[in-house]
């Protein structure tokens, strides 16, 4: 047995407990750090070969383990830009050097330029809607830009398309004379027509109202055994501002119809048109054309009903910014409408607990963690983004205090082994005297 060996073993034990105490100190210091993941110390023995009845004491070595994959508690806040991840995945952020890294810390606030940054100063990254609905780059961070919510001034979006659906009463009278139909725009226009109105928006955000007229123009007589009938309807669209005033009818309008089409229905009341669409050509007044989808109409034995939902937006200031569970960042306008600005992706690796921890509570991938895979929330096993919430640290404070006491006791015991070896060395030296 080597006295020096036992003393070195004791030193090894003290160093190991010092490392353990360091991880405990880190965990306790970050018990209130948003998205912090606890670290722990694992011990493994070092054995030296022994022979001839002599035992050579070895030692102990430590390795640090991260509990990155353990979910922290989620608490709700009053800030709409606070974000938490429920489930797997990490936010993609970048520091001052522009290098993308991963984090669970979603305590984002606007900086002086309107970019969302967390408490450590990392900018949140996302895909912009400037070029339409974004697509994710699954194997990299290309296409990501800082999420900027500094939406100032007024925004207006012209209507370009819409959906109009409802029901046309199968019992309506047929208007067989073309001169009496709304498309003729005459003072003798029939009253056997159904009028709906719909509001759209021009390029300046002004509201423009259009009048839709639905008129049955023909009926196909079925065999006696079939009670239902197939029919054709005319659709004529006028600009509401051009309607006649002072009389009992809107006809004649001061301008001709700016959109006409026909809708064909079979004996079951389903539309049979291959397109079932009509284009509102208002280029002469507003410079725009609006494609309306009418395939949602039916012809059944019920009252007339219709509802239209064109796109576009009136001139309105931004009131707030919201984020949904799919990671879409919306600008919410004062009139209640919304507009998508960015979509926030999440990233993940095969072994999150093997990620490299960096300052600022961020992580980078390495050979042990696996490659980074990017996707949108709630796809491919990724979690959900919760707005107005934060993920807390997953540190168990009571457990850390227990670890601290154990580490202190173990360190003291190892020091006693060292002191005992030192005393034995004194005995050997005094033998010479």
Closest C-alpha to 212, from 173, 170, 183: 183
Residues 214 and 285 occupy one common structural domain: yes
Say what the pLDDT of residue 169 is: 94
Say what the pLDDT of residue 221 is: 67
Residues 227 and 265 occupy one common structural domain: yes
Q: Band of the pLDDT at 1, cuts 50, 70, 90?
A: low
Residues 276 and 196 occupy one common structural domain: yes
Q: CA-CA distance, 425 to 284, in Å (whole number)?
A: 106
Say what the pLDDT of residue 161 is: 95
Q: CA-CA distance, 91 to 1, in Å (whole number)?
A: 55
The answer to whether residue 227 scores a pLDDT higher than 60 is no
Across the chain, what does the average pLDDT equal? 90
Q: What percent of the chain has pLDDT over 70?
A: 96
Tally of structural domains, the chain: 3
Q: What is the pLDDT of residues 397-415, one digit of tens each?
A: 999 999 999 999 999 998 8
Q: CA-CA distance, 115 to 81, in Å (whole number)?
A: 11
Phi, psi of 293 (to 5 degrees): -90, 120
**DSSP 8-state symbol, 313:** E
Q: What percent of the chain has pLDDT over 90?
A: 64
CATH number at residue 164: 2.60.98.20
- State CA 333 to chain mean position distance: 19
Say what the pLDDT of residue 318 is: 79
Tokens coding 175: 């208007």
Q: Band of the pLDDT at 420, cuts 50, 70, 90?
A: confident
Residues 205 and 278 occupy one common structural domain: yes
Q: Which residue has the higher pLDDT, 260 or 428?
A: 260
CB 120 within 8 A of CB 362: yes
Q: Can you list the positions of beta strands (E) in 136-206?
A: 145-146, 154-157, 161-169, 194-201
Q: What is the pLDDT of residues 286-313, one digit of tens each?
A: 889 999 999 999 999 999 999 988 988 8
- Please say which residue of 279, 311, 343 terminates a domain: 311
Sequence-ordered list of residues with C-beta below 8 angstroms from that of 136, at least 6 positions apart, any chain: 127, 345, 374, 375, 376
Tokens coding 381: 């096993």
Length of the chain: 433
Residues 202 and 303 occupy one common structural domain: yes
Phi, psi of 6 (to 5 degrees): -65, -35
Residues 234 and 148 occupy one common structural domain: no
Please give the residue range of the domain that contains residue 299.
159-311
Q: CA-CA distance, 130 to 20, in Å (whole number)?
A: 50
Residues 277 and 325 occupy one common structural domain: no
Bridge pairing between strands 109-110 and 116-117: antiparallel
Closest C-alpha to 347, from 66, 43, 29, 103: 103
Bridge pairing between strands 288-300 and 161-169: parallel
Helix (H, G, I), strand (E, B) or coil at 148: strand
Residues 245 and 339 occupy one common structural domain: no
Helix (H, G, I), strand (E, B) or coil at 109: strand
Q: Which residue has the higher pLDDT, 380 or 247?
A: 380
CB 263 within 8 A of CB 274: no
Q: CA-CA distance, 236 to 281, in Å (whole number)?
A: 12
Q: What is the pLDDT of residues 10-56, one digit of tens each?
A: 888 899 999 999 999 999 999 999 999 999 998 888 888 877 677 77
- Whole-model pTM: value is 0.67
Q: What is the pLDDT of residues 236-293, one digit of tens each?
A: 999 999 999 887 899 999 999 999 999 999 988 999 886 789 999 999 988 899 999 9
Residues 357 and 293 occupy one common structural domain: no
- Please say which residue of 295, 311, 327 terminates a domain: 311
The answer to whether residue 336 scores a pLDDT higher than 80 is no
Residues 417 and 372 occupy one common structural domain: no
Cα-Cα end-to-end distance for the chain: 24
Residues 208 and 270 occupy one common structural domain: yes
Q: What is the pLDDT of residues 338-368, one digit of tens each?
A: 889 999 999 999 999 999 999 999 999 999 9
CB 183 within 8 A of CB 193: no
Residues 20 and 101 occupy one common structural domain: no
- Please say which residue of 311, 327, 345 terminates a domain: 311
């Amino acid at each position: 047995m080597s006295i020096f060996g036992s003393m070195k073993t004791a030193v090894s034990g003290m160093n190991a407990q010092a490392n353990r105490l360091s991880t405990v100190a880190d965990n306790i210091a970050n018990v209130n750090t948003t998205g912090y993941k606890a670290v722990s110390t694992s011990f493994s023995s070092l054995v030296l070969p022994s022979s001839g009845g002599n035992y050579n004491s070895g030692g102990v070595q430590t390795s640090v383990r991260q509990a990155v994959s353990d979910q922290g508690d989620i608490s709700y806040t009053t800030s709409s830009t606070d974000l938490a991840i429920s489930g797997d995945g990490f936010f993609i952020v970048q520091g001052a050097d522009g290098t993308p890294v991963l984090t669970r810390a979603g305590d984002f606030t606007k900086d002086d330029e309107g970019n969302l940054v967390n408490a450590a100063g990392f900018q949140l990254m996302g895909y912009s809607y400037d070029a339409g609905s974004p697509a994710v780059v699954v194997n990299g961070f290309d296409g990501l830009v800082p999420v900027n919510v500094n939406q100032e001034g007024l925004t207006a979006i012209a209507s370009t398309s819409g959906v109009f659906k409802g029901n046309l009463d199968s019992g309506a009278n047929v208007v067989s004379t073309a001169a009496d139909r709304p498309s003729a725009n005459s003072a003798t226009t029939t009253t056997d027509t159904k009028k709906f109105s719909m509001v759209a928006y021009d390029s300046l955000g002004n509201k423009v109202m259009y009048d839709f007229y639905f008129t049955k123009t023909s009926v196909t007589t079925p065999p006696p055994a079939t009670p239902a009938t197939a029919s054709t309807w005319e659709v004529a669209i006028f600009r509401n501002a051009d309607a006649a005033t002072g009389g009992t009818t809107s006809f004649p309008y001061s301008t001709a119809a700016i959109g006409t089409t026909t809708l064909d229905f079979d004996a079951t009341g389903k539309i049979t048109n291959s397109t079932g669409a009509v284009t509102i050509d208002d280029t002469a007044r507003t410079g725009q054309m609006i494609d309306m989808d009418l395939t949602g109409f039916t012809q059944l034995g019920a009252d007339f009903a219709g509802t239209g939902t064109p796109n576009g937006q009136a001139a309105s200031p931004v009131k707030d910014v919201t984020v949904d569970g799919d990671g879409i960042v919306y600008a919410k306008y004062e009139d209640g409408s919304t507009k998508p600005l960015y979509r926030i992706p999440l990233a993940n690796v095969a072994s999150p607990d093997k990620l490299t921890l960096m300052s600022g509570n961020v992580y980078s991938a390495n050979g042990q963690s696996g490659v980074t895979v990017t996707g949108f929330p709630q796809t491919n096993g990724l979690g959900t983004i919760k707005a107005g919430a934060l993920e807390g640290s997953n540190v168990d404070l009571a457990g850390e205090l227990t670890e601290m006491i154990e580490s202190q006791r173990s360190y003291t015991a190892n020091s006693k082994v060292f002191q005992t070896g030192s005393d034995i060395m004194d005995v050997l030296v005094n033998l010479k005297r």
